[in-house]
Amino acid sequence: MPEQAKGGRERPLSPHLQIYRWPVTMATSITHRATGMALAAGTLLVAWWLIATATGTDAYDTFSTVARSPLGLLILFGFVWSLAFHLLNGIRHLVWDSGYGFEVKTAERSGILVYALSLVLALALFAYAFAARGVSL
């Protein structure tokens, strides 16, 4: 909450997030956090898969049925894309950490590349699941 200045006049505030034009670098930064949080939820899916495998055939089949349902596939696509994005953008961060790729043009290009590659990777994996692994809607 903004503090009232002496005399009751509102102090000027800097504009909030929605005022700014979204540069690619800002979008990738926010997406990196968002996918990171989504992947935290995704650890529950991996845990469920392992526990179901350890438990028995019924538990495994339940997991399988839910995972192959339309909603399950949508969630898994979100999981896989998040993983692909976070991995590729994480590599971009490691490159920055070693001191390269900071030029505005370069950072914007690598950002667009990360969006494109992560989407291609996720789509290719799901195309493979549908074409060769018997997944269907």
Partner 1 sequence: MSVRTPLGRVEGLGAAHRGTEHFISQRVTAVALAPLTLWFVFSAFMLIGGDRAEAIHFLAAPVNAVLMALFIIAALMHMALGLQMVIEDYVESEGGKVVLLVLNKFFAWVVGAASIYALLKIALSRSPA
d(CA 97, CA 133): 39
Closest C-alpha among 109, 119, 45, 30 to residue 75: 45
Q: Which of residues 25-54 bind partner 1 (CB under 8 A)?
A: 33, 36-37, 39-40, 43-44, 46-47, 49-54
Contact 28, 89 (CB under 8 A): yes
- Between 56 and 101, name the residue whose CB sits nearer to partner 1: 56
CA 84 to chain centre: 8
In whole angstroms, the minimum distance from the beta carbon of 118 to partner 1 comes to: 12
Q: Return the residues of window 118-137 that contact partner 1 according to CB under 8 A.
A: 125, 128-129, 133-135
Of 12-20, 22-30, 82-90, 109-117, which part binds partner 1 (CB under 8 A)? 82-90
Least distance in angstroms from the C-beta of 81 to partner 1:
11
- Tell me the CA distances in angstroms from 107 to 3, 27, 32, 115, one per residue in order: 37, 12, 14, 12
Smallest distance from partner 1 to CB 83, Å: 6
